[in-house]
Amino acid sequence: METRLKKGICIAVGNQKGGVGKTTTAVHLAAALSMRGHTCLLMDLDPSAGATKHLGVHQNSYAGALELLTTEEPLEVLVVNEGLPERLHLLPARPQLAELDSMLSKFVDRTRVLDRALAAARHLYDFIIIDTPPSAGAVTTVAAYSAAEWFLLAAFPHPLALAGLSEACRDIADVRARRNPELEVLGVVFTNVDGRTRKLRAQLDDLVQALMPGRRFRTAVSQAVVIPTMSGLGKTVFEHELSDRLLVARQFKRLADEVEHRTLHRDRFLGGTLGEPPGWNTPALLAMADDLLEAHGQHA
């Protein structure tokens, strides 16, 4: 396992729809994986700097993604770890990242602008999670999809998500055909789920099964006001004083279990023969399973 991890696994979190849980998922996934002992880099490639703000890092206090992509500055000096959870590093973003396209020389292949930095990051981290902006055409989104080997789609269970799923499928098929045949869908995670959206979620689950068989995550994330509250404080839900008792904290940890299991056993996962993460079938965990969400729905 140790040797596999040295390779550095890169997951781009995306959805061209805005405000659908990309940043929240990317931040909590990186934090949960770091709590499991992995060294993690969260790359904020969105000019609106959502992940940077979510981790309480002031967007203009540091150089970061923009310098990484436009200068020779090495990754090591651009990442921030001060005040962040142990083993979690952040490559911060700031609004000027929106001008990246015009800052790059016309000779640069925009789809490959992340490759050098990502190759360096893979030697340093077990997991690299990329938070992308809500636009499939943005330079950073294209570069992330061209360099990562996994794509994770985050979505709210909203009727618009039905269209979002097909769009995401098209984007990924296009990237695979033209630029990065290694890119695979790691999974689709629904967040901000409540009891009222259960029926819609079932429809969305069916659609995921039809479009991307086997790629639905068993874990979904409930709607919980503690998420925006903690984000406003520049923290994850794992830093809440009652974190152990928060449903959403357990759900994000379960999502990290699934992500770890799928990525560490890529071939079996892609071949459709991978079961659930180890330990998921013990009675105690089964009692807590999907179930957590259903129980929540019944109380909602």
Partner in contact with 219, chosen from ligand ATP, Mg ion, none, beta carbon below 5 to 8 Å by kind:
none
Query: Among 8, 28, 38, 50, which residue interacts with ligand ATP (rule: CB under 6 A)?
Result: 50
Q: Minimum CB separation from ligand ATP for residue 46, in Å?
A: 6
Q: Which of the stretches 22-30, 185-193, 212-220, 291-299 binds Mg ion when contact is defined by CB under 5 A?
A: 22-30
Q: Minimum CB separation from Mg ion for residue 169, in Å?
A: 21
- How many helices and strands in the chain, by DSSP H and E? 15, 6
Is residue 50 at the binding interface for Mg ion, with CB under 5 A as the rule? yes
Q: Using CB atoms within 10 A of its CB, is residue 169 exposed (0-12), middle (13-18) or buried (19+)?
A: middle
Q: Minimum CB separation from ligand ATP for residue 164, in Å?
A: 10
Identify the CA nearest to 21 among candidates 54, 45, 47. 54
Query: Among 7, 18, 290, 294, which residue interacts with ligand ATP (rule: CB under 6 A)?
Result: 18
The DSSP code for 182 is T
Site for ligand ATP in 145-184 (CB under 6 A): none
CA–chain centroid gap for 248, Å, is: 16
Q: What angle do CA 145, 51, 45 make, to 5 degrees?
A: 35
**Of 79 and 246, which CB lies nearer to ligand ATP in the complex structure?**
246
Is residue 227 at the binding interface for ligand ATP, with CB under 6 A as the rule? yes
Site for ligand ATP in 120-139 (CB under 6 A): 134
Residue 63 to residue 255: CA distance in whole angstroms: 31
Is residue 231 at the binding interface for ligand ATP, with CB under 6 A as the rule? yes
Q: Which of the stretches 42-50, 76-84, 179-187, 204-212 binds ligand ATP when contact is defined by CB under 6 A?
A: 42-50
Query: Among 22, 28, 53, 254, which residue interacts with Mg ion (rule: CB under 5 A)?
Result: 22
Q: Which of the stretches 91-99, 136-144, 217-225, 285-293 binds ligand ATP when contact is defined by CB under 6 A?
A: 217-225
Q: Using CB atoms within 10 A of its CB, is residue 83 exposed (0-12), middle (13-18) or buried (19+)?
A: exposed
Q: What angle do CA 56, 90, 17 make, to 5 degrees?
A: 80
Residues 6+ apart with CB under 8 A from 249: 237, 238, 240, 243
Is residue 192 at the binding interface for ligand ATP, with CB under 6 A as the rule? yes
Partner in contact with 228, chosen from ligand ATP, Mg ion, none, beta carbon below 5 to 8 Å by kind:
ligand ATP
Residues 6+ apart with CB under 8 A from 225: none
Q: Minimum CB separation from Mg ion for residue 141, in Å?
A: 11
Is residue 23 at the binding interface for Mg ion, with CB under 5 A as the rule? yes
Is residue 236 at the binding interface for ligand ATP, with CB under 6 A as the rule? no
* Continuous H helices in the chain: 2-5, 22-35, 50-54, 65-70, 75-78, 100-103, 115-124, 139-147, 159-178, 198-211, 226-232, 247-264, 266-270, 283-288, 291-299
Q: Minimum CB separation from ligand ATP for residue 111, in Å?
A: 21
- Number of Cβ atoms within 10 Å of the Cβ of 214: 14
Residues that bind ligand ATP (CB under 6 A): 18-24, 46, 48, 50, 134, 191-192, 221, 223-224, 227-228, 231
What is the binding site for Mg ion (CB under 5 A)?
22-23, 50
